[in-house]
């Protein structure tokens, strides 16, 4: 069922397109939220021109967008898959925009399969690399294992060494679990010593197939606060060789005297997520292909059948957007940290409370409130130690 044309003034532009090139992952991480990671389902590249058409025929695209191959392990597919994808993307950009839009490809990988051939593939296709590594071997291997129970750390480090040997820049994300809480120094030293200069912490979440988290409760929040304080202090002492995403985002807002009134995860068509079948959603990529009693599915339709604008007129989208917007408004009214997060993440609200129309979550305390408090406490106590700090 379709409704009247929506007010799109708070929509887009599409800055991020997340495409599930394959559902298969060669790891079986204990905290993974994906349901089909044991089956090899592949996004047919014959759909890629149609996906690009759907973006460029819509009113939601801008001058730049990032296309991220994610949600499974993208490198279980051959290099030739991404060579062909690059060709199709370039042809679509030329056809639909006369070459005026810049599409930047990314890949998020566990790094276990990276070798010299993959590094050459990244280089020739100008693919930006993000890796997932949780820190030192004992911490990493506690959760990131192959299906036979073997830890993946040795294999991930081999891939990281290949990136460094081939001078391929990369950034990293680490899932922080209770296992890491007592080892902030070891965590920091691992990233510093392995020249991993840009890192983001994804605190373990209750999400999807992963129905509980070791990072819940007041005790864990206090531990994480101490963890981040130690991480900052060590990096500050060394002249900030490791840039932590959570600190960098807050510092940018403070430096620019800027606050958020929305974020890309609750702004329609800032993010477009597409599964291997061509089904698409907006808001959080983690909501793609999720079903619930309250909302039905979070998917808006298939790119084979619907344009993005047609999907925005459906009753399903209007229900999701109404609750998402109401949840953001509740955050703004109830939370003093609103300007630093812009209303939170719908996926966390849904997984923790069963609805998008709510405010505070466990995830927002870890991902926003605690990092903000740690930084503000640091800069209240004394000025930065020198002029080289990121602040």
CATH number, domain containing residue 219: 3.20.20.70
| Domain hosting residue 137, numbered range | 10-256
Secondary structure of residue 223 in the 3-state scheme: helix
Q: Nearest Cα to 244, choosing from 254, 255, 235, 257?
A: 235
pTM above 0.75, yes or no: yes
248 within some domain: yes
61 neighbors 179 (Cβ within 8 angstroms): no
Q: What are the pLDDT digits (tens) for 160-202?
A: 999 999 999 999 999 999 999 999 999 999 999 999 999 999 9
269 within some domain: no
372 within some domain: no
132 within some domain: yes
171 within some domain: yes
81 within some domain: yes
Question: Distance (Å, rounded) from C-alpha 390 to C-alpha 341?
Answer: 20
Q: What is the mean pLDDT of residues 321-339?
A: 96
Report the number of distinct structural domains present in the chain.
1
153 within some domain: yes
- Residues forming a β-bridge with 108: 130
282 within some domain: no
Average pLDDT of the chain is: 92
Q: What are the pLDDT digits (tens) for 107-153?
A: 999 999 999 999 999 999 999 999 999 999 999 999 999 999 999 99
283 neighbors 319 (Cβ within 8 angstroms): no
């Amino acid at each position: 069922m379709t409704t009247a044309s929506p007010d799109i003034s708070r929509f887009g532009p599409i800055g991020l397109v997340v495409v599930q090139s394959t559902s298969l992952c060669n790891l079986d991480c204990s905290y993974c939220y994906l349901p089909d990671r044991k089956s090899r389902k592949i996004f047919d590249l014959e759909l890629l021109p149609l996906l690009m058409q759907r973006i460029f025929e819509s009113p939601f695209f801008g001058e730049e967008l990032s296309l991220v191959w994610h949600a499974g392990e993208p490198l279980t597919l051959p290099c030739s898959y991404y060579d062909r994808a690059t060709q199709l993307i370039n042809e679509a950009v030329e056809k639909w925009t006369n070459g005026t839009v810049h599409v930047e490809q990314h890949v998020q990988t566990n790094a276990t399969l990276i070798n010299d051939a993959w590094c050459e593939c990244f280089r020739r296709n100008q693919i930006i690399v993000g890796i997932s590594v949780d820190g030192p071997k004992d911490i990493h291997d506690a959760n990131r294992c192959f299906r036979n129970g073997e830890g993946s750390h040795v294999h991930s480090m081999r891939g990281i060494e290949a990136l460094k040997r081939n001078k391929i820049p990369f950034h990293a994300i680490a899932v922080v679990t209770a296992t890491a809480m007592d080892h902030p120094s070891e965590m920091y030293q691992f990233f510093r010593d392995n020249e991993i200069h840009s890192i983001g912490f994804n605190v373990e979440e209750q999400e999807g197939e992963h129905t509980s988290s070791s990072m819940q409760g007041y005790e864990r929040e206090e531990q994480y606060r101490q963890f981040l304080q130690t991480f900052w202090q060590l990096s500050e002492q060394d002249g900030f060789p490791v840039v932590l995403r959570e600190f960098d985002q807050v510092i940018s807002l403070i430096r620019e005297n800027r606050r958020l009134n929305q974020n890309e995860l609750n702004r329609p068509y800032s993010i477009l997520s597409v599964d291997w079948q061509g089904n698409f959603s907006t808001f959080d990529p983690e909501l793609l292909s999720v079903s619930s009693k309250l909302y039905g599915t979070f998917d808006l339709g298939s790119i084979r059948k619907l344009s993005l604008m047609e999907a925005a007129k459906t009753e399903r989208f209007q229900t999701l957007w109404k609750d998402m917007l109401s949840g953001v408004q509740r955050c703004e009214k109830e939370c003093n940290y609103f300007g630093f997060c812009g209303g939170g993440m719908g996926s966390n609200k849904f997984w923790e409370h069963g609805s998008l129309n709510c405010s505070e979550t466990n995830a927002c305390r870890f991902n926003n409130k605690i990092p903000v408090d740690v930084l503000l406490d640091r800069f209240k106590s004394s000025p930065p130690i020198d002029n080289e700090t990121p602040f």
